[in-house]
Amino acid sequence: MTLIYFLIVIGILVFVHELGHFIMAKRAGVRVEKFSLGMGPRIAGFKKGDTEYIISALPIGGYVKMAGENPDEEPTGAPDEFQAKTVWQRAKIAASGPLTNILLAFLVMPLVFMIGTYVEGPAKVGYVEKGSPAEKAGFLAGDVIEEISGRKISSWTKALSLIAVNPDTDVTVDLDREGEKKALILRPAIATELKIGMSGLVPDMPAEVGGFRPGLPAEKAGLKVHDKIIAVDGKTVYHWNQFSTLVKESKGKTLRLTIEREGKRAEKSVTPLMDGGRYVIGVEPFVRLVFKKYGFVESVQLGFQKTIEAIDLTFITLKKLLSFGLSIKTLGGPVMIAQMSGQAAAAGLSTFLSLLAVISISLGILNLLPIPVLDGGLILFLIIEAVRKKPLSRRTLEISQSIGAAVLITLIAVVSYNDIMREFFSR
């Protein structure tokens, strides 16, 4: 099923990309010789006008073949060839594919809110880890994050994303502390070999039992789902991470838990055991999420807002990667996309569509990079042609395309290597 969902995602994104090129080429009067749904051998098709519409064997996107689009093709002088069009017309055709991918996100994201999605509350700090960058910066439990580096924060997802892409970099965090506005300077630490930022800020999460690992001390001690941990050895507990820390630091000593169950308090004794290099009792937190559907107007507004945020975060991430502020190990390839597609589909249609929109944005923006063999590379060549008043030589284009192909192949190799390392060596 993961493979099927992966093919659906890639198929939609590539098809939409090529459809953008197709529509703009037709509007510009370029003769489109083939428009294929899928790749590989032809299964079926028909011809209408100058265009052959094909269904191909491999369901991994599609392609558009325009007359005279390849630089190594000898122009015939026909007015409906790609090379016969003005620089502006060719640039619009080149840009239409990536821009259609970005447009798809604006169309899909409102559907996420109409179908329904889990609602995140404000980015309220529930716990500040000891010795963390957040503690050094002066954060306190109860702080509500409102802005990071001038960007409005509406949820923990956005807050943690902006922190993650700013490792070892000072960021200004504007927050509300019991009605008082404050600005703190946070310098996220570099976490793991991925070089992503870590702050030590944790969302509000009461110490409520959500599940058990079979056969471990918590289950044997008689704890139940929805039990609230009120205290450990008489010390009041107000956050799951605080409770987890007390268990880790127990050194295997029996703990006296004060719990609340159905409005009544009781005590349970539990002895942590060593598992995976740390002391545990085998409980998982209960996560309260609210599923909400929105009306049409509000869905459009929220969808546009989330799409703009995703575009902004993509540009921030790209800038950090190009300036070596983020490790290239953070990039994922086909395996990662396939896994995410399967997981998103299992979580529901709205989650799947949200992932589709985010990947579509990434695909659109990456294709606009000025790298030969990408649409952005062609746009760069057309800008140079407009300045020079004549096109680049065929030899220059061939060398540039070879370099661009080498860069692209290297990038594919790197992300594929990352996928393999994550899948087989990071467990």
Catalytic residues: 18
Integer Cα distance of 349 and 361 in angstroms = 18
Q: How far is CA 231 from CA 27, 266, 345, in A?
A: 69, 11, 39
Q: Are 332 and 417 spatial neighbours (Cβ–Cβ below 8 Å)?
A: no
Q: Which one, of 5, 9, 100, 18, lies nearest residue 62 by Cα? A: 18
Please tell me what DSSP assigns to residue 131.
Answer: T
CA distance 123 to 173: 12
Helix, strand or coil, per DSSP, at residue 312? helix
Please say whether the beta carbons of 199 and 165 come within 8 A. no
Q: Are 364 and 99 in contact (CB under 8 A)?
A: yes
Which residue shows structure tokens 């294709």?
Answer: 367
Alpha carbon distance 292, 119 (integer Å): 7
Q: At what angle do helices 87-115 and 2-27 cross, to 10 degrees?
A: 140
* DSSP characters over 364-407: HHHHTSS-TTSHHHHHHHHHHHHHHTSPPPHHHHHHHHHHHHHH
Residues in the chain: 427
Q: Is 268 strand, coil or helix?
A: strand
Task: Specify the DSSP class assigned to residue 73.
Answer: S
**Closest by Cα among 128, 125, 145, 144 to 136:** 128
The values of phi and psi at residue 280, to 5°, are -140, 165
